[in-house]
Amino acid sequence: ICNGFQILLESGLLPGTLIQNQSRKFICKNVSVRIENSDTPFTRRCEANQVLEIPIAHHQGSYYIDPFSLNHLEENGQILFRYCDEKGNVSAECNPNGSVDSVAGVSNEQKNVMGMMPHPERCADPQLLGTDGQVIFQSLISND
């Protein structure tokens, strides 16, 4: 998650890299994120195309990968989350940091390592910023 995602990318455990936000500014706000693949240990309790509201807080959070590798991720179901509007529509206007193809989170080919920029831990308790993030942690601990 966030800086942990950056470490996973820099270490080569996940494909791609993070670059400075397109706005060149620190961004801290809630965003909508659409589940792209609900068949992983991290998303198995989610529904395909489910929209979650999750906070982001980063300056260097724009995901980048070359077009060939992006196509490979798409074909292998490695794109797990995309920035979207509250109805699940993906567009440049809903992409807070300029990530390529609105990617918010990816997995490795085996789907046992995941990284994402949004912070589900910050919205996993009713006393915090909501509970949308709970489903990701419930997925991790479920035996399905």
The residues assigned a catalytic role are 2, 119, 121
- Residue 53: alpha-carbon gap to chain centroid: 11
Q: What angle do CA 68, 26, 130 make, to 5 degrees?
A: 90
Alpha-carbon distances, residue 22 vs 18, 35, 103, 122, 127 (angstroms): 11, 23, 14, 24, 32
Question: Hunting for tokens 């489910």 — which residue is that?
Answer: 50
Burial of residue 42 (CB within 10 Å: 0-12, 13-18, 19+) is: buried
Through-space distance between the first and last CA atoms of the chain, rounded to whole angstroms: 23
